[in-house]
Every structure is written in structure tokens, then in C-alpha cells.
């Protein structure tokens, strides 16, 4: 996946993230109500001393949503993190938190929003990986995913995911106009770049899809978000009249818009690469949309909060590109859970007897 993303580094990644709405009035009302509930939940969290007594102080706001990154075949990591959020942070099936996802991350986000459990998700996604490992990946992944989604998602999945609770990232391909190409050449010349005339003929725009008018429309959005050329067949997938590729190519780990303290989840250790990136690195500059603010925002990842990655970078990327064995996949589930628990404990999140999320020890 990330090798594919690098092939687009020469293109100017432009455009803003639009939120596509297929059913205007109802989702807007629901989103407003969801946002109010998130704020009430955050205000309701109080600081609890280490002896368990409420000290009356107001704790930092709880996360209003989560964003699961593109991951290739690493999505067992996401399942482990999802499980920890359910077990440690009291994240319920009908939670008010919004979820966003790109590529493999969109699958985990959609499964949660449909009311499935991490156990369900692990079974479904492990079956997908087993099929790909046994029968191959080139040209097959899209079909394997589609069959699984149609088999496992509930018939009203599109309604369950159109409540302002799910945001699916897709990257749409758009041809650059002659004037846009000339403007890009001018900017490159002003920057003193020797290859100023070497400008691509297309760009990627990002879009967050948050409302789905049918079951097929939801499945189409998820397949478009997961569309990696060669792995899924044709270089791009048609969705809502546009050619789309992997949603992580525009925004690696999208977060729900208009929520407080969204948390990103990513199974690849990228903090060091982000910190070393320079302003001349184009689509991979530290402020590029692809991973803007990576080291400055809440993050669940192998290298976040002082974590030391158990897997080296080469192994991680290899497992992202080619499905690993069952033992390695279970290792990814464990690592995702451990990293999410480290985040939860570092931020004082514990689960009380009633299963509600509270904050601990802000002393």
C-alpha cells in the first residue's frame, strides 16, 4: 500500500476533504445530536484520584471519535486496538463516538458502526486474509472483500452507518486543467526546483463519505476506499461517477470532522519518518495532508507515547503487502491491543464496574 502511495508522490495532492451527503436533512440533524451527546459525555467525565475518590476536578475531554488508518493486510492490528477500546474504555456498540477510516481502517470502522463485535471482526477479517494467503492477492482482493461484506454486514448496514457515526475516506482521481498545470510549474520554478516542468496530469482529491442511500452504496464506498491497483484489479474503481483509489493515499488516517480530541490508530511506526521529513518532500512533507500533524495529535501506534515497536519496519511493510501466517496475524492483534492499552493508561482511561469510561489520576 505504501509503495503504491509513493508512486503518487510526484503528483500534487490537492483539494480539500469534502463530506458527501446523499440524504441532506436527516444526517445533519443526527450529526448535530451526536455532537451534543459527545460534548455531554466529555463534560460528564470527572477526574478521579488514585484512591478512587472523586476530587471534583474536571478531567480532559474524552475523545469524540477515532480514525483508523490504511493498513494493507495489517488490519488485525486494528482489531486488537478496537478490542482494547471496547474492554478498557467502555466503548459500546451504540457508542456516540464517530469513526472514520481509510482502506482497511474503513472496514473496522464500518463493522463497529454496524454493531458487530471485535470477535466478529477478527473472524471476518481473518477469513479474508486466509483466502488471500491461499489463493493469491493479485486481482483478487476486491472480490474477496466484496463477498465478505455482502455476506457479513446486516441488511440495514447503510442505515446504521448513516447516523453521523461513520466517515469513509476515498481518494478520487481528477485531471488537472492546463491552467492548474501552469500554476504548478510556476510554483516549482519559484522554489528553484530543477524539474519544474515535470508536472503530472492528474491529482488526488480526498472525500469523506458519511451517508449511504443503499446497501450497495455502502459496499461500494468501502471497496473504493480499499482499492489498491493490481491487488483489486483495474487501476481505479468507479464510485458515484468518479474514479477512486485507496482512501489512504490522500489521508493516511482520517478522523471524523467536527469532533473533539479525535484519536488516530495506525499499525505502522511512522513518527520518526514524520519528524525527519522536510518541507521539500512534497506529498510527504510534515504538513502534507497525507499525515499532517502526525506527531502532534492523539495517536495509537507502535511508536506512540514512548512505545518501542516489536516489529522492524521491513517486517511491518512486508506483512502489510502480503498476508502473514496465522501466528503472525495473532501477534498483530496482540500488538494493537497493547498499544491501545498504553494510550488508554497514559491518558488515565479506565473502565468502571458499570462499564462506563472514566478518567483516572489527574493529580
What's the pLDDT tens digit per position in 229-283? Answer: 988 888 899 999 999 999 998 899 999 999 988 999 999 999 998 988 887 777 7
**Percent with pLDDT over 90 in the chain:** 52
Is there a contact between 131 and 143 (Cβ–Cβ < 8 Å)?
no
Q: Which three cell numbers stand for residue 26?
A: 436527516
Report angle CA 82, 88, 89 to the nearest 5 degrees.
80
Confidence at residue 350, expressed as pLDDT on a 0 to 100 scale: 59
Order across the sheet with 54-58: list the strands.
54-58, 46-48, 357-360, 349-351
Query: pLDDT tens digits for 328-345?
Result: 999 999 999 999 999 998
Is there a contact between 79 and 68 (Cβ–Cβ < 8 Å)?
no
Q: Which three cell numbers stand for residue 169?
A: 475516506
Rounded to 10 deg, the angle between the 118-135 and 104-113 helix axes is 150
CB burial class (10 A; 0-12, 13-18, 19+) of residue 354?
exposed
Confidence at residue 16, expressed as pLDDT on a 0 to 100 scale: 38
Of 53-57, 172-176, 331-335, where does mean pLDDT reach its minimum? 53-57
Query: 198 Cβ partners below 8 Å, 6+ apart?
Result: 10
Confidence at residue 351, expressed as pLDDT on a 0 to 100 scale: 59
Q: What is the mean pLDDT of the chain?
A: 79
Which residue is listed with cell 497493547? 338
Does residue 200 carry a pLDDT above 90? Answer: no
Q: Which three cell numbers stand for residue 321?
A: 503487502
| CA dihedral over 119, 121, 123, 129, signed as positive or negative | negative
Residue 116, helix vs strand vs coil: coil
* DSSP-assigned beta bridge partners for residue 207: 18, 170
**Which pTM was predicted?**
0.79
Q: Which of 169, 340, 167 is nearest to 265 (CA)?
A: 340
Does residue 287 carry a pLDDT above 50? Answer: yes
Which residue is listed with cell 450529526? 31
User: 96: pLDDT confidence band, cut at 50, 70 and 90?
Assistant: confident
Amino acid at each position: 500500500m505504501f509503495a503504491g502511495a509513493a508512486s503518487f508522490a510526484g503528483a500534487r495532492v490537492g483539494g480539500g476533504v469534502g463530506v458527501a451527503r446523499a440524504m441532506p436533512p436527516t444526517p445533519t440533524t443526527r450529526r448535530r445530536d451526536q455532537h451534543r451527546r459527545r460534548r455531554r459525555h466529555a463534560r460528564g467525565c470527572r477526574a478521579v484520584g488514585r484512591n478512587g475518590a472523586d476530587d471534583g476536578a474536571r478531567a480532559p475531554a474524552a475523545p469524540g471519535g477515532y480514525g483508523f488508518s490504511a493498513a494493507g493486510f495489517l488490519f488485525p492490528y486494528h482489531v486488537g486496538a478496537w478490542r482494547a477500546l471496547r474492554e478498557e474504555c467502555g466503548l459500546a456498540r451504540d457508542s456516540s463516538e464517530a469513526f472514520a477510516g481509510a482502506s482497511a481502517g474503513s472496514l473496522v470502522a464500518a463493522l463497529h458502526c454496524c454493531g458487530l463485535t471485535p470477535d466478529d471482526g477478527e473472524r471476518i477479517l481473518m477469513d479474508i486474509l486466509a483466502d488471500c494467503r491461499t489463493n493469491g492477492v493479485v486481482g483478487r482482493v476486491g472480490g474477496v472483500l466484496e463477498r465478505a461484506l455482502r455476506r457479513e454486514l446486516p441488511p440495514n448496514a447503510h442505515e446504521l452507518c448513516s447516523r453521523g457515526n461513520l466517515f469513509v475516506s476515498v481518494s478520487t482521481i481528477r485531471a488537472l486543467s492546463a491552467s492548474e498545470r501552469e500554476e504548478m510549474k510556476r510554483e516549482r520554478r519559484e522554489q528553484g526546483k530543477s524539474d519544474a516542468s515535470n508536472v503530472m496530469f492528474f491529482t488526488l482529491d480526498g472525500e469523506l463519505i458519511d451517508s449511504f442511500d443503499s446497501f450497495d452504496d455502502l459496499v461500494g464506498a468501502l471497496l473504493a476506499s480499499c482499492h489498491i491497483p493490481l491487488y483489486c484489479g483495474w487501476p481505479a474503481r468507479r464510485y458515484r461517477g468518479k474514479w477512486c483509489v485507496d482512501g489512504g493515499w490522500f489521508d493516511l488516517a482520517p478522523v471524523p470532522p467536527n469532533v473533539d480530541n479525535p484519536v488516530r490508530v495506525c499499525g505502522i511506526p511512522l513518527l520518526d519518518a514524520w519528524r525527519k521529513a522536510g518541507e521539500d518532500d512534497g506529498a510527504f512533507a510534515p504538513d502534507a495532508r497525507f499525515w499532517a500533524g502526525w506527531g502532534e495529535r492523539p495517536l495509537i501506534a507502535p511508536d506512540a507515547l514512548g512505545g518501542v515497536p516489536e516489529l522492524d519496519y521491513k517486517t511491518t511493510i512486508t506483512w502489510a503487502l502480503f498476508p502473514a501466517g496465522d501466528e503472525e496475524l495473532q501477534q498483530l492483534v496482540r500488538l494493537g491491543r497493547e498499544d491501545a492499552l498504553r494510550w488508554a493508561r497514559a491518558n488515565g482511561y479506565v473502565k468502571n464496574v458499570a462499564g462506563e469510561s472514566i478518567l483516572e489520576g489527574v493529580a
